[in-house]
Amino acid sequence: MNWFPGRSPAASASATCSAVCSCSIPNGTCWSSFPNRIAFLYRLKCTCMPSEPLQCLIVEDEDDAVHILRTYIAQMPCLSLVAVCRDTITADQVLQNQKVDLVFLDIDLPGKSGIEWKRGIAETMQVIFTTADVAFGAEGFELDAVDYLLKPFSYGRFLRSLDRYQRLQGKPAMDSSAVLLAENRPFLMVRVERMLRKVYVDELLYIEARRNHLLFYLDSGTVKVYQPIRSIEDRLPQAFFLRIHRSFIVAIRRVRAYSSTIIQVEDVRLPLGRSYQSSVQDVLSR
């Protein structure tokens, strides 16, 4: 099969709203400019960070939390991920052999808890606690942790933790506009069972239509949505999402390769409908 890399039109999107834009996203951004702008700001604020990337360690046993942290760290050129450990025993081994500047540490771990482990490591080791239990927060701060992240946490909250790390190191704060923009990301409110749930657009990989519901495939997992695919398609920014089949909509920036019959979104191969081949070719060949 012949594969060709997909190209997103995001690269040529304007960084500011046009005069006729009717969106309400703050700081002069709009649907069509958002992914480009936020990526730029993420990199801009890294100029305040050390010339050498901060060496980060993730100590976490939940797959979803690991995936989110990996995704956030990968957005930051000034951060480098040393390793992911599922328990504190493995983390000890990493610290013996690797330079680590900052640890993202879950509190509820198998065997020794994150709190116990923090008490036993060097006081100079900088730690950001992560947990789903709000009751652990006070104890974490008593151990001089950099910050405490309550799962699930947003890009903006993650950036504020890094900003706090900067301040504690006596270094310039990060660009506040990047944090503000990350905390005001475009989102959809979608019907999940009997509730409406907020889904951030930049976390969407693709959408699949099933018999009586949709599946939203996100960075953080899968969400079952009870709405027609057409109603969702009409609400998504056309510059960044593409219908490839009667049952699939994909995020263009997540397309890694395509052929005349298949679209690869990250590591998943999806069917390309015959009636959509021409429009898909037009968009991905730009």
Instruction: Mention every residue, 6+ apart, whose C-beta is less than 8 A from residue 207.
Output: 214, 215, 216, 217, 229, 232, 248, 249, 250
CA-to-CA distance for 154 and 220, rounded, in angstroms? 11
Sign of CA dihedral 209, 212, 217, 218: positive
Pick from 153, 128, 132, 133: nearest CA to 143: 128
Pairing of strands 262-265, 255-258: antiparallel
Domains and CATH numbers, the chain: 50-173 (3.40.50.2300), 187-284 (2.40.50.1020)
> Side chain identity at 68, as an amino acid letter?
I
Count of CA atoms in the C-beta half-sphere (13 A) of 173: 8
Contact by Cβ (8 Å): 92, 59: no
Query: Whole-angstrom distance between the N-terminal and C-terminal Cα of the chain?
Result: 21
pLDDT of residue 179: 54
d(CA 24, CA 34): 12
Classify 115 as helix, strand or coil: helix
What's the pLDDT score for residue 138?
A: 53
The pLDDT score that the predictor gives to residue 128 is 94
pLDDT value of position 143: 73
Residue 196 tokens, joined: 């409406």
DSSP state, residue 176: H
Non-local (6+) Cβ contacts of 20 within 8 A are: none
Q: Which residues of the chain have pLDDT under 70?
A: 1-51, 134-142, 172-185
> Distance between alpha carbon 87 and the CA centroid of its chain, in Å?
23
Region class of 6: left (phi > 0), else alpha (psi between -120 and 50), else beta? beta
Q: pLDDT digit string (tens) for 220-245?
A: 889 999 989 998 998 888 778 999 99
* Cα 277 versus chain centre, distance: 29
- CB burial string 146-175: b at 16+ within 10 A, e below: bbbbeeebbbebbbbbbbbbbeeeeeeebb
Question: What is the structure's pLDDT at 142?
Answer: 63
Q: Is the dihedral of CA 196, 197, 202, 208 positive or negative?
A: negative
pLDDT at 236: 86
Q: What is the pLDDT of residues 13-23, one digit of tens each?
A: 333 333 333 33
Q: Record the tokens describing residue 73, joined without a space.
A: 């760290």
CA atoms within 13 A of residue 226's CA, in its CB half-sphere? 6
Pull the structure tokens for residue 215. Answer: 């599946």
Cα separation, 204 vs 176, whole angstroms? 25
Instruction: Give the model's pLDDT for residue 171.
Output: 72
Cβ neighbours around 92 below 10 Å, total? 15
The residue type of 212 is: N
